[in-house]
Structure formats: C-alpha cells, structure tokens
Structure 1
Amino acid sequence: MLIVQLAWRDQLRDRFFLLCNVAVMVGILVPLLVLFGVKNGVYQALIGEMLANPANLQIDTAGNATLSEAEIAPLRDWPEIAFMTPKIRAQFDYINVRATEGRRMRAALLIPTGAGDPTLPSGAELAEGAVAISAQLAAQLDLAPGADLQLITQAEGRPRQLVLPARVGLVLPEGAAAGRAVLAPYAVLDLVEAFYDSYSLPEHGIDGTRPLEDRVTAYEGVRVYARRLEDLAALQARIESQLGLGTTAHTREVESLLGLGRKLNLALAGTAVLAAVGLGAALVLGFWSEVARKRLVLAGIALLGVPGRQLALFPVVQALITAALGLVLSFALYALAGRGAQAVFGQGLPGGAPLAVITPAQAAAISAAVLVLVLAAAAAAAWSAQRLDPATVLREGA
C-alpha cells in the first residue's frame, strides 16, 4: 500500500523523532518489565519451594472418630482432592522396624499410602508387600531398596507380637517424610489395628478374643492432599463441614504466601496503570505534534489523490513502527538487566531459580497491551490527519 511505504520512508528520514519516541517507551517499559520479571521469579521460587514439600498440601483429620465408607466416599469424587486415604487410630500407628537379619530396631510412624500419594516420587507405585521408608529410618537401619525388613507391633502384655514381613520398595528423599516413617498400604495399617483390637489373625499365628470375620470396617480419619495450594483453605473448611471433624494443615503459611502474591500483583498493576497513563500521554502529544509538523507533507500526499481514510493511516503506521522498535529494545534491555540482577542477587533463591522470569505468554500479552496503548495514542493523530484540508494547509504554508 502506498501510504505504508510513504510512512516508512518518512520515518526513516526523521530518525531523530523516531528515536525520541522509542526512548520514551524504553524508559517506561524496561523498569516495569524488570519489576514484573523479578516479582514472577521470586514468587515462583517461593511457590516452588513450598510445593517441593508435599506436606504443605496435606490435610489431616485431628483426633479419633468413627467414620464409615459411606461417610468418606463423597470425598473421593471431589476434584480439588489429589489423593486421599483413610487412617487408623493415632495410638496404633507406631511400630518397631528392623532389618530381617539385623539387630538394631527403631520405632517409626506407620503412614497409609497408595497410588498417587504426593509423598512418593512422581509416578512411583509400591508393589505388593513393599513399603516406602523415610531417609532417616533408612540411614539408621542401613536399609536400601530391595532390603527385607520386619514391622513389629509395640503392644505390651500380649503373649505374642504381630510381625509383618515387608520389603523396601522406595527410600524417600530427604524432607519428603519427617523423622522415622514407614509408608504402607492402608491394608497393613488395618491389620495392625485389628491386632490391637484383639481380633484373631490366624495367618499370622495370632489368637485373639474375637474372630476377624466379625470386624466391621471403620475409619478413624482421613489423610488428604489438595490438588493446588489455592485449594487448600477452602478444601480444609469443606472437609471439616462434611465430616464434622477438626483438621490440621499448613493453611496459614500457604495463605500468607498466596496473599503476598496477590498484594504484589495489585501493587504492580497500580504501577503499570500509572506508567500506562504517562506513556499514553507522552505518545499522544508526540504523535499529534508529528502530524502538526508534517502538515505540508500530508497535504501534498492528499493532493496525489490519497483519500482521508488512508491518510489517517500515516501516523498509525509510524506509531506501529515506533511500538515494534520500542518493544524489541525494551525486551533486549530487560534480558540484560535480568542477567545482571541474577548475577548480583540471584544466588539466594531456593534451588537456583532464576531471579527474573517472563514467560512467552506473558511477553505476548505485554506486547499486545503496548500495541493497543500505542494505537489508542495514535488515534488522535490519525483523526487530525484525516481532517486536514490540503488547499488550506498549502495556502497557509505559502
């Protein structure tokens, strides 16, 4: 299109004014990009550190209750729950652990687990007869994956203890489970509880006062993991309302971090709005003055037969050129500033996370917002160009 070519050539001829407008954009955009990138980097690092500990997504019912399968079944269909397993009474979930051929014995917490448990490594499943153990327990008993061990009840005064053979399927990473812990399928915990309730377990040589077939399945609580940190508080309240039980979770810490993110977003949004107003005003005056300065040029183009609607595209095309150069230079300077900030301040972030982060989607959204702002600023100049009367302009110029 002729008007596009003319606008481009005119822009190249008046490079000084182009650089002035680009400098205005860069001076406002680069600090905003750095602030936005640092906010993203620091916040994502803190969120990543919190998500690295699955316990931050965990909700446990407090105390002992008697829950039927019908009472906990609705929870299995809640979309905000990533994993759930029932629990046994708290006084029965400690056992002694030792290697099958070993002499050392350690007390450990017995925790129910299953497929999809966030405490286990992603995609890991325990084979039949296998358990997962904490890093501390593995170190103290010198256990490795594949080792045979025994789970021994701690009941006092019983003529015979329940001894369950097991195999180490997984040794959990440091921090995945605190202290000495054994993660086993719920059936193992249910068997231990049946032993403490004096039921007979003939397969394990245990004679009790009640036959096992008379036992009614009941749960004393649930162990739940939220799918997202944002779901934790609402899910905890919903579980308490559904089951009528108190719960424990790291809700306060999670909500504190999420609240920090919301406050940072609000502060950054307010800064961006003020910056957009300032940039918009500067660009409106810049583009308007450019049209006023080039009235003779535009009048000459109009005399060549270019209609007013196309003439209005002249400042719009030049505005788009300015925006494109401003965005490219701004993101380039942001990248340099981000590297410098990373070198100076980034060493303290958890896991070596980058200090400044802007995703491609965010960069595209920022670019689109800037283009809209520039086009809006150019609209006044386009209106002024469209209303030019060539004869009047040339007569006044003469």
Structure 2
Amino acid sequence: MGNHLPTRMTHLGLTLRLALADLRFERVASLCQIIGLAALLVPLLILLGIKNGVLTDRTTALLQNPESLRLTIARTAAYPRALIDSLSGDPDVRFVAPHPVVLAVVSDFAGTAPGAPVVPRVSLLATGLGDPYLPADSAAPGPGEVWLSASLAGGLGASPGDRVTALMPPKSGEPDGGALDFTVAGVIPAGTWGRVGALLNEADLFLIQDWTDGHVQGADLDPLRGNTTPRETFPSIRLYAASVPAAFRLVDRLAAEGVPVGASLEEARALADLDHALTSSFRVVAGVGLVGYAAAFAASLWNNIGRKRRAISLLRLGGLGRAPAALLPVLQAAGIATLGWGTALLTYAAGAHLLNATLGPSLDLDGPVTRLGPSDIAASATAAMAVALAASVWAAIAVTRITPQQGIDDG
C-alpha cells in the first residue's frame, strides 16, 4: 500500500497539471465559461443582497416599533395566570403582561410640588422585564415606581427620582377622587412610545383600576399598596410578538386556545409578503439559471473530451490510470467555478457600491441597499462549485470509457 500512494499522488499531480495546461491552451473557451458563470452569479448575488438589505432594514424598523407586532386581545374574559406564564415562556413572545380592560386605563398625573402642572388622561400600562417600551437592560418598576413617556415627563417637568401622583376623578356622589404617589424610575426615550403614558408595576395598575371600578375605597390609595389579594385571573392581556413569523404563529396558537385576537399586523403582513416575493423570485431565477448553465457547461466539457479522445487514450497508454484521467474534466470544472465565482464576487462588490450610492438615499434606508453575510458568500461558493462538479460528471464518465487501445487503433 505504501508503494501505491506515491504513484497515486504522482498521477493526481500530473492530472492537475494537464487540466490547468488544457485550460490555458483553450483560454478563449475557458474565459467564456468563466464569464458565463460570473454573468449568472452576479444578478443572483445582487438579488440576494437586495433581499437581505431591504428586509433587514424593514425588519429592524418594525422591531423598533413595538406597536407593529402588538397583538390585541379582542374580548374581556377571565384569562388565567397560567396562560400568561405559558406565553412568557414562549420564544415567539417578546413581552406579555396582564391588563385590567380591553381599552386603556387612564388617570391624570401631576407633580407633588405646589402648583405643579397636571397632565390629563394619561394612558397606564402594566410593565415588566423585557417590555419593548423600556430601554434595553432597564429594571422594571417595582411597587411605587413609574416610567414616564417622554411627552408625559416633559408635560410634568419630571425627571428620574422626582415624585409624581396619579389622580383619579371623583366617583359619582363623592367629593374626592383617588390619589396614588410614585417615584419616577426613568423616562422612556422619545420616539419609542408616542402616547402620553406611564408604565406601572402590575399591582399598582390593578389597584388604580380596582378603585375606578369601586372595589376599593378611600381617597389616598398609598396605604392600600401591597395589601390587595393576588390575582389568578385577568380581564385582558398586553402581548407583543418577537418577530413577524412569530406574530402569525401566536395568532394561530391563541385562536386554538379560544383567545380571540384582533391583531393589527398590516406592516408585518406587508413585510412577510415582500419576503415571500423576493424569496420566490430568487429561487426561480437561481433554479432556472443554474440548471441552464449546468447543462450548457456539461455539454461544453463533454465536447472537449470528445475532441481530445486520442490524446487521453495516449495518456492512458502511457500509464495514466482511469480514475486520474476521469478527474481531468472535474478539475477543469472546479478551476472554472473558482475563477467564475471570484469574478462574480468582485463584480458584485462594485455593483453593490454603486447601488448603495445611488439608491440608498432615495429609498431612505438606515443600512446599505444590498448586503451579503459570510454565510451568503459561502453558500454562493458552494452553489458554484456544486453546479460545476455536477456538470463535469457526464464528461468524467465519458473519459472512463476511453481505453489505451483506442490510441493505438487511431494511430
């Protein structure tokens, strides 16, 4: 076995040199095949790059707007704590929290200093870790703490550490309304939440709603904080999906569990339709182009073997084995694929730069119009090599049928 290995390596080296020499000799035909492969790959790379660039930008914008992936529970019911716990562990869920009613909970807000301004009809929501309105890595407010929207903080002139008060209007027949004091834990960045609103601890939000519904009494609600009975069911749920596909899966899951969802997913649906259209277009163009090129390339390699049948037969007669001889078209195809792919990548880089410079400003994208990641580049190289090697199979089989005797007979 040790004596056979050097011989095999020698034959393989000889085959490689012969394959490269033939490519140089047939330089015009080789150049045409390289250009042909590059001409096929460049549009595919640009189409894939545009798909990645546009979709990445649109998806990023969508995820930065939590309302785009908010699922609205359409009916008030007694939703168990177990459902909320189950949703919080679902990877399709970005954030979930209980909510007292289908519509918004509102109250007035004021600073605690004398003569402080009052901001009417502030929207109140229960919050927690992972709330899309809270800055990343921010701690959720505990009892007695509140995060203010930028517009509410501006209206109150409040900043973190200040004291503010939620004011509920008097009930029918009663002289005084309710009040619940808070410490400002933080201010939500402008543009994240466009409403005049406040994010509260779950217990504080339900305490305000209980007072509004008449379940608790008294004008000062501060002593009641922490003294209410823990809830096991909730009238509604505040729910946000983790991604566009996740939103549609959640709608199906909740519908199967009997939870009606009035999701407003127009932006998500439009993005999904765009993804489907671009993906389908890419697959059709790539499939037709690669199959067509493979067929033409296979015919070219087979024709080249037919023209050089006598030369290959003489090489066989001189001691070149059948397997090394069969590698001739395979190595040629691999060389053409490598050069064609490299040419395509360089051409794509130039085209991408031009597209980003000309179309980027008009499309108002935050990132480049077209982009390819390392996995995309690796996939394109794999596809080019796979097509070339598949095309070489026919020619390799033809080589195995050439015998040394044919060289003598033809001579």
TM-score where L is the length of structure 2: 0.87
What displacement does 1:52 show? 1.3
Alignment match of 1:35 (pick from 47, 52, 61): 47
From the superposition, tell whether residues 277 and 73 of structure 1 become closer, same or farther in structure 2 (CA, over 3 Å): closer
Residues 212-271 of structure 1, C-alpha deviation per residue, up to 9 Å, x if partnerless?
A: 7689764211111222220212312432443x4533322343123212211221122111
Q: 1: CA distance between counterparts of 2:200 and 2:408?
A: 90
Alignment match of 1:148 (pick from 163, 169, 172): 163
Moved more, 88-97 or 306-315: 88-97
Residues 36-71 of structure 1, C-alpha deviation per residue, up to 9 Å, x if partnerless?
A: 211221122222211111122222323433344356
Equivalent position of 1:312 in the other structure:
326
Equivalent position of 1:276 in the other structure:
290
Say whether 1:106 aligns with 2:119.
yes
Q: 2: CA distance between counterparts of 1:27 and 1:73?
A: 54
Q: 1: CA distance between counterparts of 2:218 and 2:96?
A: 27
Q: 1: CA distance between counterparts of 2:73 and 2:25?
A: 73
Equivalent position of 1:183 in the other structure:
199
Q: Secondary structure at the match of 2:234?
A: coil
Q: Where has structure 1 moved over 6 Å in runs of 4 or more?
A: 212-216
What displacement does 1:179 show? 1.7
Equivalent position of 1:332 in the other structure:
346
From the superposition, tell whether residues 23 and 221 of structure 1 become closer, same or farther in structure 2 (CA, over 3 Å): same
- Amino acid in structure 2 at the alignment position of 1:287: L
**2:69–2:240 Cα contact (<8 Å) kept:** yes
Equivalent position of 1:159 in the other structure:
175
Equivalent position of 1:299 in the other structure:
313
Q: 2: CA distance between counterparts of 1:44 and 1:135?
A: 28
Q: 2: CA distance between counterparts of 1:279 and 1:179?
A: 56
Q: Secondary structure at the match of 2:350?
A: helix
What displacement does 1:351 show? 4.8
RMSD: 2.6
Moved more, 81-90 or 220-229: 81-90
Say whether 1:342 aligns with 2:356.
yes
What displacement does 1:85 show? 0.9
Equivalent position of 1:223 in the other structure:
238
Q: 2: CA distance between counterparts of 1:159 and 1:105?
A: 19
**1:327–1:367 Cα contact (<8 Å) kept:** yes
Residue pairs, 1:1-398, within 5 angstroms? 1-69=13-81, 72-89=84-101, 93-101=105-113, 103-107=116-120, 108-128=122-142, 129-157=144-172, 158-196=174-212, 197-200=214-217, 204=221, 218-242=233-257, 244-393=258-407, 395-396=409-410, 398=411
From the superposition, tell whether residues 321 and 98 of structure 1 become closer, same or farther in structure 2 (CA, over 3 Å): same
**2:141–2:201 Cα contact (<8 Å) kept:** no
**1:46–1:350 Cα contact (<8 Å) kept:** no
What displacement does 1:97 show? 1.2
What displacement does 1:174 show? 3.1
Q: 2: CA distance between counterparts of 1:85 and 1:21?
A: 60
- Amino acid in structure 1 at the alignment position of 2:182: A
Residues 346-365 of structure 1, C-alpha deviation per residue, up to 9 Å, x if partnerless?
A: 12445521111222112212
From the superposition, tell whether residues 324 and 281 of structure 1 become closer, same or farther in structure 2 (CA, over 3 Å): same
Moved more, 312-321 or 59-68: 59-68
Q: 2: CA distance between counterparts of 1:247 and 1:188?
A: 26
**1:133–1:182 Cα contact (<8 Å) kept:** yes
**1:200–1:206 Cα contact (<8 Å) kept:** no
From the superposition, tell whether residues 295 and 97 of structure 1 become closer, same or farther in structure 2 (CA, over 3 Å): same
From the superposition, tell whether residues 277 and 172 of structure 1 become closer, same or farther in structure 2 (CA, over 3 Å): same
- Amino acid in structure 2 at the alignment position of 1:385: V
Contiguous gaps of at least 5 residues in structure 1: none
Q: 2: CA distance between counterparts of 1:310 and 1:59?
A: 63
Q: 2: CA distance between counterparts of 1:91 and 1:326?
A: 61
What displacement does 1:188 show? 1.0
- Amino acid in structure 2 at the alignment position of 1:223: R
**2:74–2:102 Cα contact (<8 Å) kept:** no
- Amino acid in structure 1 at the alignment position of 2:116: R
What displacement does 1:131 show? 1.7
From the superposition, tell whether residues 324 and 217 of structure 1 become closer, same or farther in structure 2 (CA, over 3 Å): closer
Moved more, 348-357 or 370-379: 348-357
- Amino acid in structure 2 at the alignment position of 1:177: W
Q: Give identity over the alignment, percent.
A: 27
- Amino acid in structure 2 at the alignment position of 1:169: A
**1:45–1:350 Cα contact (<8 Å) kept:** no
Q: Secondary structure at the match of 1:344?
A: helix
Q: Secondary structure at the match of 1:151?
A: strand
What displacement does 1:311 show? 0.3
What displacement does 1:5 show? 2.5
Contiguous gaps of at least 5 residues in structure 2: 1-12
**2:180–2:222 Cα contact (<8 Å) kept:** no
From the superposition, tell whether residues 288 and 216 of structure 1 become closer, same or farther in structure 2 (CA, over 3 Å): closer
How many pairs does the alignment contain? 392
